[in-house]
Amino acid sequence: MKVKITFDLPEDEHEFYCATKGKDMFVVIWNLQQELRKLYKYEELNEDEWNMVERLRDFLNDSLNENEINLNK
């Protein structure tokens, strides 16, 4: 199956940008998730650092879930 998406530029510039940079945005989010996982699982953190990493991981995962974004697809 092929899909063709058409944009009316410059009106749809934001939508065009999101469509063309989507893979790059995915990579950034994936890397952030992996870095937070590494910190959570392997680093020796003090209590405040631990709480912040846990809070950020929860926020990222909740945001991904709320927007139905699965980084494993």
Give pLDDT, residue 53.
95
Residues 37, 57: contact at Cβ < 8 Å?
A: yes
Q: How far is 7 from 19, CA to CA, in rounded Å?
A: 10
Average predicted confidence (pLDDT) for the chain = 95
Is pLDDT above 90 for 55? Answer: yes
Q: What is the CA radius of gyration of the chain?
A: 17
Phi, psi (degrees; rounded to nearest 5) at 71: -75, -5
Mean pLDDT of 5-27: 95
Confidence (pTM): 0.81
pLDDT tens track for 20-32: 999 999 999 999 9
**ω into 10 cis (within 30 of 0):** yes
Mean pLDDT of 8-23: 95
Is pLDDT above 90 for 73? Answer: no
Q: HSE (CB half, 13 Å, CA atoms) of 24?
A: 5
